[in-house]
Structure 1
Amino acid sequence: MTATNALASRARSLGRGFAVTAALGAAAGSALAGYGLWEKNQFVLREETLPILPPGFGPLRVLHLSDIHFVPGQRRKAEWLASLAELKPDLVVNTGDNLSHAKAVDPLLRALGPLLEFPGVFVPGSNDYFGPRFKNPASYFLGPSSRPKVQEKLDWPRLRSGFGMSGWVDLTNRCQSLVIKGLRLDFSGVDDPHLGLERYAGWPRGTRGRDTDPHLRVAVAHAPYQRVLDHFTGDGAELLLAGHTHGGQICLPGYGALVANCDLPTWRAKGLNTWDSNGHTTPVNVSAGIGTSRFAPVRIACKPEAVLLTLTARN
């Protein structure tokens, strides 16, 4: 075989090798995408127990919902949301990003209808105000996503009204107390920190002479930025609930989240942890969320979740 023929033969072999590698890569990519589309509908309930109530009170069952990102036609998601009412929670806490489409308000309210029969509180996320947009997934590795100059406006006023008319309490830069099963819960909530809209309202005051009665301070926010965790923990919160991170949404098995879309360490992107600030320690539950942006409808190694927190008396 001449040198020229040998080179030509090697070139053909390399070409076939590249073709096979490309085909295998494409097949693997298709399989991964297919799995991600499947996993986004594998809804789970994560259950946690926290002994944080004053002696003699509890248990209290708190259902934490976050990042529903509802789109019309999501029948399985709607049925699962409605089925959560069977848990009979004492309180529902919704930490925002309910919408992912301009026409999602009415079907979402129908899906949440059975849960709206229970006491609840809520704060908004950016995807309650503005619709999602397509973005390069790699951009999340460069830091938290930013708000574009032009975005589709969503009907947050109507969704907020629907929640409020059902009795859920709006905690957007507000504080308010609720009495549940004989215990006063003092709430303080903020508008979405991801948009820089948080304004701290402090804690509600009890009626005259009753500030020392047993109570629990609960902070509620959409995005768990460190400045927000620092503020609420330093200000005496005894429980903090947030979402936003989607738990990383696409995770590595055995490793976890690659991004958190805020300045929270990725290992804290979902689950129940504690946060220390100014000599105080607060339990923080970050929900991995229930949905995805309609432009990135996949989850990998990060199933969509609601969280049932059972609060019991301190030892």
Structure 2
Amino acid sequence: MASWSCRFLLQRGSRVISLRAAAESPAHVVSCIRTVKTTTWFDEHLTEDNQEYMRKSMAQEYRRQTVDKLNPLKDEPWQRHDWTQGSRRVGLVAVKLGMAPVWTKAGERHVVTMLQVQDCHVIRHLSKEEYNGHTAVLVVGGKNVSPFHRSEEQMEMFRNAGVPPKHKVTTFKVSDNAVIKPGTPLYAAHFRPGQYVDVTAKSIGKGFQGVMKRYGFKGQPATHGQTKTHRRPGASGPGGDPAKVFKGKKMPGMMGNIFVTAYGLKIWRVNTKYNVLYVNGSVPGHRNCVLKVKIIIFRHTCEVFFS
């Protein structure tokens, strides 16, 4: 008697079951099950109504924690210190909105990038002894996200600070007289027009690119005996004694998708109503990306070279 087989393949993301049975022995069944790992910490078998109820309950809980943490009657604020020469202040976590032109009173046109500060809070303070023994650190987070995609360790840190979960969490080195209490909100008014900042973000990924696009090589001639080498780099290493290609040689490869810092960007305007910073020129990253903004230390150097 001829044997027969049956296979069931469900949609992507569900279980894949392979069944094979022989006609002469119907009881012989071989199954292979691949489980799917969920990205949430709650049970994957909950219904949609239960999941929606949990999301609403968690939102109300974090809203209550934020209100209780900002109540000045329950906890005394930290002592404020005066600014001194060499003080290092904390930075911000902002979202890139896009670019736009602005004009000065003298009629000069400048292209700026708009950075919006969304739900930026101080999360944690690390003293010199806890960090590296040299400088203190403030942990800052920005842009609220759903708590269902964060680990329990991260959620514990946010609960201790009394703030909702954040999309991006970064550190800023600060001086002893610039320490801020955890749970304090930060706004665009933290900076003033005329200051210079450094902006760090992940650049836009370009994929695998050649040397002309990646490093700006001139390329080879279009005619006069050149065949299929118009966009190639040419000779890649010396012959004779070295007879090798040195490390760090500029060659084709993956371009972008790395953290890049734009230094010495001047702040032209601060919109306190919508918490928007207008910084000079372009900044790395795509639109709606979350980036790190920190005040520059060498102010006089920026005024000379970037003005």
TM-score normalised by structure 1 residue count: 0.23
Larger fraction in helix: 1
User: Which has the higher Rg, Structure 1 or Structure 2?
Assistant: 2
Of the two structures, which has the highest relative contact order with CA contacts closer than 8 Å and spacing of 6 or more?
1
Larger fraction in strand: 2
